[in-house]
Amino acid sequence: MKVVSPFGGRLFEVSLAPEDVLAIVFWTKDAAPLLPYLEDLRQKGHCFTFLYTVNNYPLIMEPEVPELSHTVRVLEKLVKEFPSGPVRWRYDTIVLSGSLNRRWHMENFRTLSGVMAPFTSECIFSFCDYYRKTVKSMEATVPDYERPEETLCRDMAGEMAEIASDHGISFASCAHDYLVSGKVSKARCIDPVALANVVDTPRRAAALGRLKYSPTRKECGCAESKDIGAYDTCAHGCVYCYANSDPALAAKNLALIRPDSECLHPRWERYRANGVVPEPRGGE
């Protein structure tokens, strides 16, 4: 798989051969398009798991994200057909506004905890990080958004941790260490411990133990991995998104990616036409 780095545009290559991949971690809000292909992945020798974001926000926040009923149907199929590939739930990112206040989040999270309990035993969360593109989008769509004080975030995290615990779900903070407490653990989205339940051979299990800590941003707890995605290609149109600069651009870019392409970057054909040779990379 050819990959274009979002930082500087450098090209490199990631091997997707089963012998070079410990596990595939899908980050998604809708796994339905993947369902027809997962059994083929497994037959080819791949192990996989899902970081599945379920926020249940109103349409103004997530205009193209499927309804909760659709998500439940997809999750039911996932856990039934692939019980060895656990789903890890993300309640991410937490945005506060006049209508999406603390009370709304507590009620919403309590509902979702009940919905998600049959499918997962873990919830990873974070409060919104207001990057420049995020602020621009929020000001245009949700002008009454709030940047909560740390005290409020701690109080909300503690209350949500109790709600999650009532449903048998652990609660972990992603890249916000000030929220870690007795009730809230530090999240590791790429987590060798969690992946140990996914891999299928002693070789893969041993290789997990050799993975190095490799944060992608401040206070990130992840182990090393290779990201093969591309910015500005998600069509969900979430207002708080940091990976898209413009929903219209993302939809346009997505349409440029061919199903048979060797690269998920929308401008890959231009890179190839210019004769740029990817730097070989791969392995575990």
d(CA 7, CA 217): 14
| Of 28, 37, 40, residue with least CA distance to 75 | 28
As to burial, measured by CB atoms within 10 angstroms (0-12 exposed, 13-18 middle, 19+ buried), residue 193 is: exposed
Q: Give 53-98 pLDDT, tens digit per residue.
A: 999 999 999 999 999 999 999 999 999 999 877 899 999 999 999 9
Structure tokens at 25: 């971690």
| Average per-residue pLDDT for the chain | 92
- In CATH, what is the architecture of 17-227? Alpha-Beta Horseshoe (3.80)
Q: Give 134-155 pLDDT, tens digit per residue.
A: 999 999 999 999 999 999 999 9
Mean pLDDT for the stretch of residues 223-252: 92
Question: Against a cut of 0.85, is the pTM above it?
Answer: yes
| 11-13/24-28 β-pairing | unpaired
d(CA 105, CA 57): 10
| Of 71, 57, 80, residue with least CA distance to 28 | 71
**Share of residues in the chain with pLDDT > 90 (%):** 81
Residue linked to tokens 């790429």:
190
| pLDDT at residue 276 in the model | 61
Residue 8: pLDDT band with limits 50, 70, 90:
confident
Residue 270: pLDDT band with limits 50, 70, 90:
confident
Is the pLDDT assigned to residue 127 strictly greater than 50?
yes
Beta-bridge partner residues of 146: 96
Give the residue, 277 or 180, on which the prediction is more confident: 180
Give the residue, 256 or 160, on which the prediction is more confident: 160
Residue linked to tokens 């260490």:
177
Q: How far is CA 68 from CA 65, 73, 115, 170, 216, in A?
A: 9, 9, 9, 21, 30
In the chain, CATH 3.80.30 sits at 17-227
d(CA 142, CA 275): 44
